[in-house]
Amino acid sequence: MKPHIRFDGASGTLVLLDQRMLPASEEYFYCRDTRDLIYAIQEMVVRGAPALGVAAAFGCVLAARETATGFSSPREGAEALDALLDALAAVRPTAVNLPRMIGRMRKIRQDRNPSTFAELVALWETESARIHREDQEVNRRIGAHGAELLVSGDVVLTHCNAGALATAGFGTALGVIYAARARGKDIRVIACETRPLLQGARLTAYELHRNGVPVTLVCDNACALLMRKGMVSKVLAGADRIAADGDTANKIGTYGIALSAQAHGIPFYIAAPLSTVDLRTPTGDDIPIEERPESEVTYFGSRRICPEGVGACNFAFDVTPAALIAGIITELGVLHPPYGLSLARAVERGGSKEARSTLP
Ligand code: MRU
């Protein structure tokens, strides 16, 4: 498989593996301008918090190329560019990596003050490639720290897809599993199918299976029973945004899994880069939760699965309270409660420049 996020500087095209088509086929989606990328994010061609951040950084390059010509004054061009960046940052509201990486690109433009659009494009191409590389390195470090928590024989339940496909490569929650297995530990995975868009079935099962990790698919509503039967030893999930107090937004269903894990004495871990920590969001109640179209729930593919006239509620994420989280695995190590303190310290110590700038 080619890289799932790739920027072709010569043609100014962002090439994305179209995750809607997996696992049936590996097709690529070509973003030639910001409109293409906005569509790709809305429609889940690319998804997963860190991957959204990386794609958005490359999206800034697309936006700069688009606004380089055709305006009567540089000021008009700059205003048009800002409007495109604002639109891009707002496409999906929960994953903080999306606006954060655009903020990082804006900051570097402000600091370096390039005098032409060509200079800006070059500056942003370099920075977005750096963001892409950094995310891969950070994932490997998360994997190394998280692997210490797993022992041979563990059966890890995971929800949605927090793997290579959700990041620039390697993955957060799945990265921990890859790292543990690379260290010779016998780890098996239970993947929740993740209604309504089936990221667990289509993406997690796909990438684990390709990488030789034993994986069993289960319906989302099987989790409590499996835990009661002693079939799950740990839970590992990713994150879309971690509030300052440790409350964590992730795919809808994660909260219920965490409650169930607590009831059965099973440790529940979050694996996420510090770029997902948002110290400006005080608690989970302050995290904006994306609502997606009803049709994702009322239809299965092209087939309607409930009577005409019945509506659906489709929150894409929920928030797991910090009290249910045994540890947050980051590139700097595993953080423990009280998260208000451990997160602030970690961000101050070594988080990305962007994460640091959100310190209160
Ligand atoms: O709606 P999605 O597929 O973008 O949701 C993704 C998740 O919830 C992931 O668990 C999260 O982004 C972490 S990815 C490393």
Fold of the CATH domain 144-356: Rossmann fold (3.40.50)
Q: Is the pLDDT of residue 351 over 90?
A: no
Q: Is position 278 annotated as part of the catalytic site? A: no
Q: For residues 38 and 98, give the distance between their C-alpha atoms in angstroms, rounded to a whole number.
A: 11
Measured between alpha carbons, how far is residue 218 from residues 200, 223, 234, 260, 315 in Å?
A: 9, 8, 15, 15, 21
Domain residue spans of the chain: 5-139, 144-356
By three-state DSSP, how is residue 163 classified? Answer: strand
5-139 is classed CATH 1.20.120.420: yes
Quick: pLDDT tens for 71-83: 888 889 899 999 9
Q: Is the pLDDT of residue 8 over 50?
A: yes
Global pTM? 0.96
Residue of 209, 236, 238, 237 lying closest to 53 (CA atoms): 238
**What is the band of 356 on the pLDDT scale with cuts at 50, 70, 90?**
low
Active-site residue among 18, 220, 240, 278? 240
Based on the number of CB atoms within 10 Å of its own CB, is 231 exposed (0-12), middle (13-18) or buried (19 or more)? middle
Quick: pLDDT tens for 208-267: 999 999 999 999 999 999 999 999 999 999 999 999 999 999 999 999 999 999 999 999
**What is the band of 2 on the pLDDT scale with cuts at 50, 70, 90?**
confident
Measured between alpha carbons, how far is residue 194 from residues 85, 165, 251, 257, 316 in Å?
A: 31, 15, 8, 12, 10
Q: Does residue 47's CB lie within 6 angstroms of at least one atom of ligand 1? A: yes
Instruction: Report the mean per-residue pLDDT for the chain.
Output: 96
Q: What percentage of the chain exceeds 70 in pLDDT?
A: 97
Q: Does residue 141's CB lie within 6 angstroms of at least one atom of ligand 1? A: no
End-to-end CA distance of the chain: 42
CA–centroid distance, 194 to ligand 1, in Å, is 11
Q: For residues 246 and 243, give the distance between their C-alpha atoms in angstroms, rounded to a whole number.
A: 5
